[in-house]
């Protein structure tokens, strides 16, 4: 079936280091959405990418959608404690959202 | 505008019992989706309702069922509870049709514990 693979499952970083999570789909996506779930919270929408090769920025967060619309990435520059949480991608394939398993960002003490 | 609300927030049941969870979407949203979240398992899609009709269904056994009312409020029911059903159940509403292009607005979830 349709899958969206998201890696890594966890990423431990020192505060101030960068963080990246990647999503790869087995099928071409019409769009991809990104969500953030803080510990103890619920997923909150961050952004949607629609166009091939699209790049969008939100302050320290950079989102990319691949040329083939099968992969996407989220990059956070200079992580802060407020970035802690799990980041999910969700790809739209045939009008159904297919969710990645999430990448948990952990800041090392 | 009020967000998505879910009741109850916490629930403890024993094996074999059944449970009903409720979700009230954002006003004007017609699509409601349900997800199960367990540690390390991400978000598992249960089903999606739009205009009182189930439009999409995930890969869950028939013990999991749902419905949507004319005011878009939705309920999900789990019968014959098993220990493995312990999870956070999240409801998400979206505006137009539950299509992937619509932003999903999640409720706070119902934490179900099965003993």
Q: What is the pLDDT of residues B41-66, one digit of tens each?
A: 788 999 999 989 998 899 999 999 99
The reply to whether B90 touches chain A by the CB within 8 Å rule is yes
- Phi and psi dihedrals of A59, rounded to 5? 55, -115
Highest mean pLDDT among A93-97, B83-87, B93-97: B83-87
Q: What is the pLDDT of residue B39?
A: 81
Q: Name every chain B residue with its beta carbon within 8 A of the beta carbon of A50.
A: 101
Q: Hunting for tokens 């094996």 — which residue is that?
A: B15
* Distance separating alpha carbons of residues A73 and A63, to the nearest angstrom: 6
Residue B89 predicted with pLDDT over 60: yes
Answer whether the bond into residue B8 is a cis peptide, omega within 30°: yes
Residue B106 predicted with pLDDT over 90: yes
Give the number of other CB atoms < 10 A from CB of residue A98.
22
Contact A29, A50 (CB under 8 A): no
Give the number of other CB atoms < 10 A from CB of residue A4.
24
Closest Cα in chain A to B107: A42
Residue B4 predicted with pLDDT over 70: yes
Predicted confidence band of residue B102 (pLDDT cuts 50, 70, 90):
confident
Predicted confidence band of residue B40 (pLDDT cuts 50, 70, 90):
low
Quote the tokens at residue B39.
């540690």
Map residue B98 onto helix, strand or coil.
coil
Answer whether the bond into residue A23 is a cis peptide, omega within 30°: no
Q: What is the pLDDT of residue B99?
A: 57
Q: How far is CA B50 from the centre of its chain?
A: 13
Among residues B19, B21, B18, B17, the alpha carbon closest in space to that of B9 is found at B21
The alpha helices in A1-109, defined as continuous H runs, are none
Q: What is the pLDDT of residue B100?
A: 55
Residue A105 predicted with pLDDT over 90: yes
Closest residue to A97, CB basis, from B40, B100, B105: B100
pLDDT > 90 fraction of chain B, expressed in percent and rounded: 79
Test A31 with B90 for CB contact under 8 angstroms. no
- Taking the CA of residue A101 and the nearest CA in chain B, the distance in Å comes to 5
């Amino acid at each position: 079936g349709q899958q969206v693979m998201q890696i890594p499952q966890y990423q431990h970083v020192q505060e101030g280091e960068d963080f990246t999570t990647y999503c790869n789909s087995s099928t071409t996506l019409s769009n991809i959405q990104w969500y953030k779930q803080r510990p103890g919270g619920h997923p909150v929408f961050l952004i949607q990418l629609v166009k091939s090769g699209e790049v969008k920025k939100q302050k320290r967060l950079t989102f990319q959608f691949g040329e083939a619309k099968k992969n996407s990435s989220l990059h956070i520059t200079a992580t802060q404690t407020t970035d802690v949480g799990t980041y999910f991608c969700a790809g739209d394939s045939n009008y159904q959202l297919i969710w990645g398993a999430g990448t948990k960002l952990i800041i090392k003490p | 505008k009020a967000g998505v609300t879910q009741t109850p927030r916490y629930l403890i049941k024993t094996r074999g019992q059944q449970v009903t969870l409720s979700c009230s979407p954002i006003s004007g949203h017609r699509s409601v989706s349900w997800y199960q979240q367990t540690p390390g398992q991400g978000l598992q899609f249960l089903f999606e309702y739009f205009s009182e009709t189930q439009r999409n269904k995930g890969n869950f056994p028939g013990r999991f069922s749902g419905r949507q009312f004319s005011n878009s409020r939705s309920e999900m029911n789990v019968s014959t509870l098993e220990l493995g059903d312990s999870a956070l159940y999240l409801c998400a509403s979206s505006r137009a049709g539950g299509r992937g292009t619509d932003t999903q607005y999640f409720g706070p979830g119902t934490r179900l514990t099965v003993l």
